Structure 1
Amino acid sequence: MSSRPGADLPAAPGVYRFRDAGGRVLYVGRATHLRSRVGSYWGDLRDRRHLRRMVPQIARVEAVACDSAHEAAWLERNLLERSKPRWNRIRGGLEAPFCIRVSASRIEPAHWRPGVAADFGPYLGGTQARLAVSGLERVLPLRYTDERLDGGLRDLARIRGVGPEDRDAMLASIKAVLRREAGALSGVRRELALLRDRASANLAFELAGRIQQEIEAVAWIGAEQKVTLLAAGSDFEVHGYADGMLVKFQMRAGRLDRWEQRACAPAASRRYLDRTPPEWSEFAARNAELARSLN
């Protein structure tokens, strides 16, 4: 191992794995910043006392660089649901999986179950899903476009200048955000930032804090996340290769839940690389380079 564990890791979100001298997996974790998180195990473990006895057993570090912290959270969960190493305390993750359902005049979070029909997601974390919905409704108040509002809601709709004629445009904007379209996402976050700054200028700091949480939640659900999908889809494998190192990821029932890496000759790697869907090529190649640098 490097004299500075974690020094060769990127400053990116991802999942890391520790192995002992016998090749057994000791621990799987996730990070928003791989380099600093992995390096912290050789620092002060005051808040992770149960891991102190594990650290001297670490012989090798492996890692996957993800495209977002949300993607890393899902990958960690999938790997731990498949197999829980000795030093991990729980199988899976702490956050509950949620989806977001959109109707003609309503947007709401709901618990996600594989195979159950839903509109958008899945997302990890009920709090994040609820905050994101709250932020969307703050900017795009779809509920006020219902034609059957009672007196109080009708008055609020009038004050906000919203009516049934706005429904189609709001629905389109909400769905664009939930499809992770960059322009729609940045527009909602920009509007929320203006509302936050206005609240802060009016000394409504509690409201400003709440809106900041909504901004972060919208960013969370809008971040790239492809390792867990709503639809089961077809099963497939993803391979990456770099200078003698072959990395394999396995997608089953819409979830990437297996990650392996091994030495491989260049000629033998071609038949594996040919199986990789084109949209996964960059992810696979990047992580093959990372595996090679850590090997």
Structure 2
Amino acid sequence: MAEVSMTLQIATLPDAPGVYQFYDKQEKLLYIGKAKNLQKRVRSYFNKQHDNARTRIMVKKIHKIRHIVVDTETDALLLENNLIKKYQPRYNVLLKDDKSYPWICVKNEPFPRVFMTRRLIKDGSQYYGPYTQMRTVQTLLELIRGLYPLRTCNYDLSEDKIESGKYKVCLEYHIGNCLGACEGHQEFEDYQQQIEAINQILKGNFKASLLQFKAKMNQHAANLEFEAAAAIKEKIDILENYQARSTVVSPKIVDTEVYSIRSDEDFAYVNFLQVAFGSIVRSHTIELKKKLDESDKSLLELAFIELRQRFNLQAKNVIAAHKINTPEGVEVTVPKQGDKMKLLELSLRNAKYFRLDRLKQAKI
């Protein structure tokens, strides 16, 4: 089959959103990109003089162009991200952060266990995270175990097995860390209330647990059960102290993601903050290795899709350094002043510190 000229390949590209792929003479994938208008975007590579040497070299190597048409520019962004991760073309931005992060699992089982894991199993269990610091996971699990007595055994605590007397309580029961559900000493409804409260804490909402504990404390005090009231007061102090350590933001800003970028000639650093129930509950920075002359806006869009997929983020409100393309229903704000601007500046500060740490490490 005769080779198709580059001019003809470009001329036959559609005026539609999609993803384009550049190949060299050996059919080796060079680059994957997204476009609102495929023909216009691809043509731009050949119609101008590129300042970036790597871009000039890549364009000279292009021998074949393939494309995939999608419905929207957002769909193109998602597809581009997935294809880059799958094929890792030579001239695409390299995401230098692909390690396995820990999650907290609330197991889908009778009398659920709550534990750390690095494996996500699709069995109906609830997973919170991933967390970028193991210290955060340990602190949360210690907090939960200090507030609620939970089982740690891996017994199948189905109703028939409990009633048949198959299991016996262990040391955890005798030292007060478990209430002995395996022998029927704890009702399922009571245990499930604890799990619902734990789910709220893991989402960043401490209010329900605080109200519940304060009501119990007042009830014990009214009944002159001062020792029991003091024990509940300790739990309230634990919860309030943990809550106080969270960075508090304006109560007007809820369920929001913040994205900033700091870049230099070779790398870009994108930080994101997750805000829930008036507090910053997560911060993470990723490093992107530049391959061509990518703009900060395009790099931020790539990182935005990657971070939302990785951390299963679903906020409808986004604060960003640039007006990036987002899925339908997600509103982007590029603030100039006020509380939202302060959050964006905080995110940028985190990105800058991450970059400085990387530069220091490179010199050692």
Shorter-chain TM-score tier: 0.3 to 0.5
TM-score, structure 1 as length reference:
0.35
TM-score, structure 2 as length reference:
0.30
Q: Which has the higher contact order (CA 8 A, sep 6+)?
A: 1
Flag the structure with larger Rg: 2
